[in-house]
Amino acid sequence: MYYVSTRDSSRRLTASQAIVEGLSRDGGLYLPEEIPQLTMDEIKALAALSYPERAAKLMKLYLDEFTGEELLGFAKNAYGPAKFDTPAAAPVVKLTENTYIQELWHGPTCAFKDMALQMLPYLLTASLKKTGEEKTVCILVATSGDTGKAALEGFRDVDRTKILVFYPDGGVSEMQKLQMVTQEGKNVGVCAVRGNFDDAQTGVKRIFSDEALREELAVRGYFLSSANSINWGRLLPQIVYYVSAYCDLLNAGAVSAGERVNFCVPTGNFGNILSGFYAKKMGVPIGRLICASNENNVLTDFIRTGTYDRNRPFYQTASPSMDILISSNLERLLSLLSGSDEEVRGYMQRLSETGKYTVSDRVLRAVQAEFSCGFCTDAQGAQTIGKTFREKQYLLDTHTAVACTVLDAYRAETGDETLTVVESTASPFKFCASVLDALGVAEHAPGTGVLSQLTAETGRPAPKPLASLAGKPVRFGQITDKADMRAVVAEFLR
Ligand SMILES: *Cc1c(COP(=O)(O)O)cnc(C)c1O
């Protein structure tokens, strides 16, 4: 199977080449030329397997250069007991008769990014071997909080890799920042950027397209790659948990084979929900994909009107991992729905020149045929956290709360009571301050004391990786202007 750029379908690469390159040189994103199909019998067969086995079988469909054993080995390591605190890896929990929560935060950094970033280092290092690349790869990451830590944890001390993470100063939660600045490992770097997430992401993209820097680094034996969800190696492992959720619902008798379920997904860069779209196109019986946003509701407007317009105020919300105005992976959706690299090039050119574009009626209809959408405020999300805990004794984080709020509104508006899986993207303990506020606790303990405070309030234990942060030494304190990010990279690879 070959992979092509969204902006130039004559650029055809193997999977390993696409994973090594990350972003295409033409600025486009890679996607598989075709989407492999699953029959219901194959889905039923997957239901009898463990999570790592499901992952290996599904990824194999997209990675024909890799052997089944190779992929199973990766999956057993990535999702095994040394990394995940439950063998189910992404367990599905029943909240009400027709609402299930898929918990994607049982990995080492307590957010859904682990689902992909525990796997990516295996895919990338194997891809380096397969492509004969001899230079050391330096992973550059722009993070709204969770990707950075998950990538650091995934790549730490991995041979022939280095990793440098940029996060927006003041744009991440205290716990997220502490997780990053205390990161261990010989090959890691962390730097704050004065600005917001889009500034950090734009800075990283600019570095990727800097030919002079590329040459300078090649001389020193390095090349740059990405662990952001622009890399296909990030999206592929995420397809697995959508299929896995359906398998688990079958096993629980919650759905009969072939019965459709909806997914409601708290969305920022459109990576998570796009993986759900792939699962649907592979043949998993998925009805609506509900795209949930916070007050940075650029995607809600896009899905409703067909106009994507990033010219709007940027809000720092209680769900910082969704504080994004440029959703990179939407480009892949436009490519899939338009089938035209020329059309995608046009949209992306208008986006970079004017900050907005309007899709054709045909593409808009195709988007609306698959996706529903909605957004909510911090206050509404907080209410949902309080209510869900009081009524169901289930503790939501601020991102998952956005999805639950949007799902309620969607049901009230449409009357669609189809069984829906809410993708839960973070442990509530990653966002203690906001969660405590939502529970009506205004006074917060200092530092990591909020963890035991939240435990005392709710009776829920803090995940081990967060509890163990207390007392860890801070290793990284650097802060840079966005104009100087290039120099930080050059210095890191000195
Ligand atoms: C990254 C992240 C999101 C957004 O996911 P996308 O793939 O960017 O849409 C939502 N919630 C949490 C907790 C995250 O870390």
Cβ 28 under 6 angstroms from ligand 1:
no
- Cα–Cα distance for residue pair 295/325, rounded to 1 Å: 10
| Position 440 pLDDT exceeds 90 | yes
* Tokens 């889009």 found at: 198
Buried b (16+ CB within 10 A) or exposed e, 26-42: ebbbbbbeebeebeeeb
* pLDDT reported for residue 11: 87
- The two tokens of residue 315 are 């809000």
Cβ 271 under 6 angstroms from ligand 1:
yes
- The two tokens of residue 167 are 């996060």
* pLDDT reported for residue 208: 86
Contact 374, 406 (CB under 8 A): yes
Region 36-42: mean pLDDT is 98
Closest ligand 1 atom to residue 400 Cα is 11
* pLDDT reported for residue 439: 98
Cβ 234 under 6 angstroms from ligand 1:
no
CA of 111 to the centre of ligand 1 (A): 8
Helices (H), 48-196: 51-60, 68-78, 113-117, 120-131, 146-155, 174-181
Cβ 229 under 6 angstroms from ligand 1:
yes
Identified catalytic residue from 57, 113, 205, 482: 113
Residue 264: other Cβ atoms inside 10 A: 30
* pLDDT reported for residue 457: 96
By most ligand atoms within 8 Å of CB, the mutation choice from 317, 399, 405, 432 for ligand 1 is 399
Model confidence band, residue 248 (pLDDT cutoffs 50, 70, 90): very high
Cβ 424 under 6 angstroms from ligand 1:
no
What are the angstrom distances between the C-alpha of 436 and each of 179, 397, 458?
20, 10, 10
- The two tokens of residue 272 are 């998570």
Q: What does the longest C-alpha to C-alpha distance in the chain come to?
A: 61
Side-chain-side CA neighbours of residue 209 (13 Å): 10
Nearest residue (by CA) to ligand 1, atom 8, is 269
CA of 16 to the centre of ligand 1 (A): 25
Region 302-318: mean pLDDT is 96
Pick 326 or 376 by higher pLDDT. 376
- The two tokens of residue 294 are 């916070």
CA of 289 to the centre of ligand 1 (A): 15
* pLDDT reported for residue 454: 97
Region 118-137: mean pLDDT is 94
Buried b (16+ CB within 10 A) or exposed e, 52-69: bbbbbbbbbbbbeebeee
DSSP structural state of residue 62: T
CA 205 to chain CA mean position, Å:
18
Contact 392, 447 (CB under 8 A): no
- Cα–Cα distance for residue pair 375/291, rounded to 1 Å: 8
CA of 135 to the centre of ligand 1 (A): 31
Q: Position 356: which residue type?
A: K
- The enclosing H or E element of 417 equals none
Nearest residue (by CA) to ligand 1, atom 2, is 321
CA of 334 to the centre of ligand 1 (A): 20
Cβ 372 under 6 angstroms from ligand 1:
no
Radius of gyration of the chain (CA): 21
By most ligand atoms within 8 Å of CB, the mutation choice from 147, 179, 267, 424 for ligand 1 is 267
* pLDDT reported for residue 278: 98
Model confidence band, residue 459 (pLDDT cutoffs 50, 70, 90): very high
CA of 267 to the centre of ligand 1 (A): 6
What are the angstrom distances between the C-alpha of 58 and each of 38, 68, 422?
9, 10, 22
| Position 259 pLDDT exceeds 90 | yes
Contact 158, 125 (CB under 8 A): yes
Q: What's the start-to-end Cα distance of the chain, in Å? A: 38
* pLDDT reported for residue 474: 95
Cβ 107 under 6 angstroms from ligand 1:
no
Cβ 403 under 6 angstroms from ligand 1:
no
How much of the chain, in percent, has pLDDT values that exceed 70? 100
| Position 367 pLDDT exceeds 90 | yes
Closest ligand 1 atom to residue 324 Cα is 8
| Position 463 pLDDT exceeds 90 | yes
Model confidence band, residue 197 (pLDDT cutoffs 50, 70, 90): confident
Region 114-140: mean pLDDT is 94
| Position 322 pLDDT exceeds 90 | yes
Model confidence band, residue 153 (pLDDT cutoffs 50, 70, 90): very high
DSSP 3-state of 256: coil
* pLDDT reported for residue 230: 84
Model confidence band, residue 26 (pLDDT cutoffs 50, 70, 90): confident
Model confidence band, residue 23 (pLDDT cutoffs 50, 70, 90): confident
Cβ 269 under 6 angstroms from ligand 1:
yes
CA of 268 to the centre of ligand 1 (A): 6
* All domains of the chain in start order, with CATH: 1-111+231-472 (3.40.50.1100)
Known active-site residue 387: no
- The enclosing H or E element of 42 equals helix 40-47
* pLDDT reported for residue 175: 86
Buried b (16+ CB within 10 A) or exposed e, 362-396: ebbebbeebbbbbbbbbebbbebbbbbbeeeebbb
Contact 320, 176 (CB under 8 A): yes
- Cα–Cα distance for residue pair 158/165, rounded to 1 Å: 16
Cβ 399 under 6 angstroms from ligand 1:
yes
Cβ 270 under 6 angstroms from ligand 1:
yes
CA of 402 to the centre of ligand 1 (A): 11
- Cα–Cα distance for residue pair 146/176, rounded to 1 Å: 7
